[in-house]
Amino acid sequence: MNIEDLKAEIIAYSKEIGIDKIGFTTADPFVELKERLRRQQELGYQSGFEKGTIEERTEPRLLFPDAQSIISIAVAYPAKMENAPKSTRGDRRGVFCRASWGIDYHDALKERLSKLSDFIKSKETEFTGKLMVDTGELVDKAVAERAGIGFGGKNTLLITPEFGSYVYLGELITNIPFTPDEPLEDSCGDCTICIDVCPTGAIVQGGQLDSKRCIAFLTQVKDFVPEEFRDKIGNRLYGCDTCQAVCPRNRHVDFHLHADLEPEPEIVKPQLKPILKMSNRQFKETYGHMAGSWRGKKPIQRNAIIALGVYKDNTAIDELIEILVNDPRPVMRGTAAWSLGKIGTDAALIAISEAKEREADDQVLYEIDLALNKLEGGAASNAR
């Protein structure tokens, strides 16, 4: 089949299988990106979650020697949730970011890309391809930008004219030399809202992300969250939407085009206290289908402990003391000490002081001392 006709058929078919935008680009190396990734690495801004070397991330032919083109796809996800439960005193709730609403988007997009691949194969028997969504080596945003899906915003996300930045991205490297689409001529202009509003100052140098300061990353680490970021994490259990929520390009954007990407309100905005006691099995049954569960139960529970401290929820004292005394994981005991210190009632102070006598782990002891210093400092300044 003529390549232009095949391209037209692929575009038409993509609409039938829940792909909202599609673009084509060459399989040439991503030269500018390579430079940017090198700078990022030198500055120590990478998260550590990236897959592959800088060469593999920027040279499609290293991943797929027959590569001739890349098809980039975007699928829009909702920005607003109907019937969101309220977080109230004594019944505080945490939040999962929008990219964790519905089923895991990796699965949702891989399914669509597989169908696309089967379709191309049915038209062109010589076709071979390799699909990727987020966790592959290629940088989805860079591919989408070059394929004309959207432009790179200063918040480091891809912004489409139609769906704002609320899109999931994936790609299919192919052995067919499709004609490339033109990148969009668009930009943030003078706007710097996301840079000014980011709670941790993670967006630096006009559009570079210091991943280690980004809340989206910090909510996923399994170790202690550095103390300076805990209040800023607030009630976030997974991810952070702030730099998308404030973006003028997302104003009035809220698409509900796919049933599999709709949020379940009780699951994406859950009560905090029950999370503390969840077994692995309960966690898997409740959250296993979501993107936000990929790091397992531990970071979500740790973030729930932080959120209860940030809320100063004194109805959670018994649960937090139970963790401080009995949880085998030092990260949980230490974070519980911090939260009890924030809540700061007499019962919290007594529990932290008693824990100090029994505790053997250095990091937990450090957290205990930090909490006691704050509480005793607060008591001293109140007495003055």
Binding site for ligand SF4 (CB under 6 A): 153-155, 188, 191-194, 198-200, 202-203, 209, 214-216, 240, 242-243, 246-249
Q: Nearer to ligand SF4 by C-beta: 64 or 217?
A: 217
Both structure tokens of 203: 């967006």
In angstroms, give the least distance from the CB of 95 to ligand SF4: 12
Rounded-to-integer distance, Cα 134 and Cα 167, Å: 12
First to last CA, the chain: 85
Q: Is the dihedral of CA 270, 276, 282, 288 positive or negative?
A: positive
In angstroms, give the least distance from the CB of 67 to ligand SF4: 30
Nearest to 304 by CA among 239, 241, 221, 236: 236
Q: How many CA atoms lie within 13 A of 60 on its CB side?
A: 25
In angstroms, give the least distance from the CB of 256 to ligand SF4: 22
In angstroms, give the least distance from the CB of 148 to ligand SF4: 18
In angstroms, give the least distance from the CB of 254 to ligand SF4: 16
In angstroms, give the least distance from the CB of 227 to ligand SF4: 16
In eight-state DSSP terms, residue 88 is B
Strands of the 129-132 sheet, one edge to the other: 21-26, 69-76, 167-174, 129-132
Write out the binding residues: 57, 97, 134, 155, 158, 169, 188, 191, 194, 198, 214, 220, 222, 240-241, 243, 247, 280-281, 295, 297-298
Who contacts 333 (Cβ-Cβ below 8 Å, separation ≥6)?
323, 324, 327, 355, 359, 361, 364, 367
Known catalytic membership, residue 223: no
Rounded-to-integer distance, Cα 278 and Cα 265, Å: 19
Q: Nearer to ligand SF4 by C-beta: 53 or 192?
A: 192
Rounded-to-integer distance, Cα 41 and Cα 55, Å: 13
Q: Nearer to ligand SF4 by C-beta: 174 or 242?
A: 242
- Rounded alpha-carbon distances, angstroms, from residue 39 to 6, 44, 240: 39, 9, 24
Q: Give the rounded distance of the alpha carbon of 377 from its chain centre.
A: 37
* Three-state secondary structure call for residue 339: helix
Question: Cβ–Cβ contacts within 10 Å for residue 90, how many?
Answer: 10
In angstroms, give the least distance from the CB of 250 to ligand SF4: 7
Write out the binding residues for [4Fe-4S] cluster: 188, 191, 194, 198, 214, 240, 243, 247
Write out the binding residues for cob(II)alamin: 57, 97, 134, 155, 158, 169, 240-241
Among candidate residues 5, 28, 107, 134, the one labeled active-site is 134
What is the DSSP code string of 279-335?
-HHHHHHHHTTSGGGTT-HHHHHHHHHHHHHHTT-GGGHHHHHHHHHH-S-HHHHHH
Backbone angles phi, psi at 281, to 5 degrees: -65, -45
Write out the binding residues for tRNA: 220, 222, 280-281, 295, 297-298
Both structure tokens of 106: 């990796």
Instruction: List the catalytic residues.
Output: 134
